[in-house]
Amino acid sequence: MSEDVYIIGAGIHPFGRTDGRSGREQGVYAVREALADAGLDWADIDCAYGGSAAAGNADIMVNELGLTSLPFTNVANGCATGGSALASAQMAISSGMYDLALATGFDKHPRGSFNASPADYGLPEWYGQTGMMLTTQFFALKIQRYMQLHGISRETLGRVSVKAFKNGTKTPHAWRRSEIDLETIMNAPMINDPLTKYMFCSPAEGGVALILASEKKMKELGAHGVKVAQISVKTRPPDSFEVFQAGVSIKDGGKPTVLASQAAFEGAGIGPEDIEVAQLQDTESGAEIMHMAENGFCADGDQEKWLLEGMSDLTGKLPVNTDGGCLACGEPIGASGLRQVYENVEQLRGRGGERQVPGKDGTGPKTAYSHVYGAPGLSAVAILER
Residue 106 maps to a domain = yes
pLDDT score recorded for residue 284? 95
Q: Is 189 within the bounds of a domain?
A: no
Angle at 180 between CA 323 and CA 149, to 5 degrees: 80
How many Cα atoms are found within 13 Å in the side-chain-facing hemisphere of 338?
44
Residue 130 lies in a domain: no
The answer as to whether 92 is a domain residue is yes
**Number of structural domains the chain divides into:** 1
Is 119 domain-assigned?
Answer: no
Of 136, 377, 129, nearest to 244 by C-alpha is 377
129 domain-assigned:
no
- Half-sphere exposure for 270 (CA within 13 Å, toward CB): 17
Q: Examine residue 41 and state whether it is found in any structural domain, yes or no.
A: yes
Is residue 143 domain-resident?
no
Whether omega before 71 lies within 30 degrees of 0, making that bond cis, reads no
pLDDT under 50: residue ranges of the chain: none
Q: What is the pTM of this model?
A: 0.96
Task: Identify the pLDDT of residue 207.
Answer: 97
Alpha-carbon torsion (351, 356, 360, 365), positive or negative = negative
pLDDT, residue 78, reads 81
Q: What is the pLDDT of residue 180?
A: 97
Asked whether the beta carbons of 12 and 187 are under 8 A apart, the reply is no
Q: What is the CATH number of the domain that holds 270?
A: 3.40.47.10
Range of the domain at 107: 5-112+201-385
What pLDDT does 115 receive? 72
d(CA 53, CA 381): 20
